[in-house]
Amino acid sequence: MKQLVIYTSLTGNTKTFVDYLISKSKNDVDVGDFSTDISSYNRIAIGTYTWGNGNIPRKMKKFLIENKDNFKDKEIFLFGSGNSVYPKFCGAVNGMKIITTDCGASIIGEFKFEQRFNPEELTNEDHNLLNNIITKWNG
């Protein structure tokens, strides 16, 4: 099972989550950038911060659109950081879900977190949700 993580991080919050995800992964995980060919990967984790009022950052949106033909039958884990003072908390995750599912991907989980990710500060509910998603991610 080939796994890939693609993410963008403006202040390091999303990268902190990526480091955690990789530490919990039971398989080898490649970390790619926006030029990575995703066609040979079975599972892809895609993460970003939310820009403005619930928007996907430009580079990430461009990547998703350019790879629309490569998402068919992929298992996707979506994650993102945001600030809950805004009405569309982690709205970029919602937008990425629309794009990837419209392209034929299967979402194995989505996880949204408040700014800097710290697993010790998760509620029991969020901790259980994340553990279930990571179990699916590990296959």
Q: What is the pLDDT of residues 51-108, one digit of tens each?
A: 988 999 999 999 999 999 999 999 999 999 998 878 889 999 999 999 999 999 999 9
How many independent structural domains does the chain possess? Answer: 1
Tell me which residue of 103, 52, 56 sits closest to 76, measured CA to CA: 103
In this prediction, what percent of the chain has a pLDDT beyond 90?
85
The alpha carbons of the chain give a radius of gyration, in whole angstroms, of 14
- The residue range of the domain holding 68 is 3-138
- For residues 46 and 78, give the distance between their C-alpha atoms in angstroms, rounded to a whole number: 5
**Domain of residue 106, CATH code:** 3.40.50.360
User: What integer pLDDT is reported at residue 87 of this predicted model?
Assistant: 81
Report d(CA 100, CA 106) in Å as an integer: 8
Distance CA 9, CA 69 (A): 25
> Percent of the chain beyond pLDDT 70?
100
What is the band of 15 on the pLDDT scale with cuts at 50, 70, 90? very high
CA 44 – CA 86 distance, rounded (Å) = 28
pLDDT for 77: 98
Q: Average pLDDT, whole number, for the chain?
A: 94
The pLDDT confidence band at residue 46, using thresholds 50, 70 and 90, is: very high
Q: What is the pTM of this model?
A: 0.94
